């Protein structure tokens, strides 16, 4: 009796969970992604595994810096990458914001056309905003020191 009651309870719970996962009610938010979106998501890039910490080269193959951060615009798109140049073990590194569209991928690495270490160091230093703006504030943007 206990076995059949437990089996019936598990069957009922599984059926309810399956129907809940597939049903949507108008005006509610679904947590997670749909099964059909998984292939699209897994084909994308992982910031942590494939972008952050990667070396940036110029078209001649010379190392010009390293991607230290990614800036997400208020609309949700990647707007800039923060590239660090110089320094030792990350100390006294000169950080600059580069529009993400200026970089391209080649042979698994990132290339910044026309870049040199000197050119990166000559750009205005990137500084994070002193106060974190509300994420919903569409006018908030990171600052670039002049």
Domain map of the chain by residue range? 2-42, 47-144
Plot region of 102 (φ>0 → left; ψ -120 to 50 → alpha; else → beta):
alpha
Mean pLDDT, rounded, for 62-76: 90
What is the pTM assigned to this prediction? 0.61
Is residue 122 within 8 A of residue 103, CB to CB? The reply is no
For residue 50, the model assigns a pLDDT of 78
Tell the CATH topology of 47-144. Answer: SH3 type barrels. (2.30.30)
């Amino acid at each position: 009796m206990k076995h059949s009651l437990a089996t019936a309870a598990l069957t009922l719970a599984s059926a309810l969970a399956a129907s809940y996962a597939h049903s949507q009610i108008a005006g509610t938010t679904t947590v997670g992604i749909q099964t059909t979106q998984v292939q699209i998501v897994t084909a994308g890039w992982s910031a942590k595994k494939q972008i952050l910490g990667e070396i940036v080269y110029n078209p001649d193959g010379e190392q010009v810096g390293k991607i230290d951060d990614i800036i997400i615009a208020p609309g949700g798109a990647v707007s800039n990458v923060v590239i660090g140049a110089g320094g030792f073990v990350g100390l006294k590194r000169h950080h600059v914001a580069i529009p993400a569209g200026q970089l391209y991928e080649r042979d698994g690495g990132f290339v910044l056309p026309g870049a040199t270490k000197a050119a990166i160091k000559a750009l205005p230093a990137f500084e994070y905003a002193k106060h974190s703006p509300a994420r919903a504030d569409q006018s908030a943007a990171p600052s670039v020191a002049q």
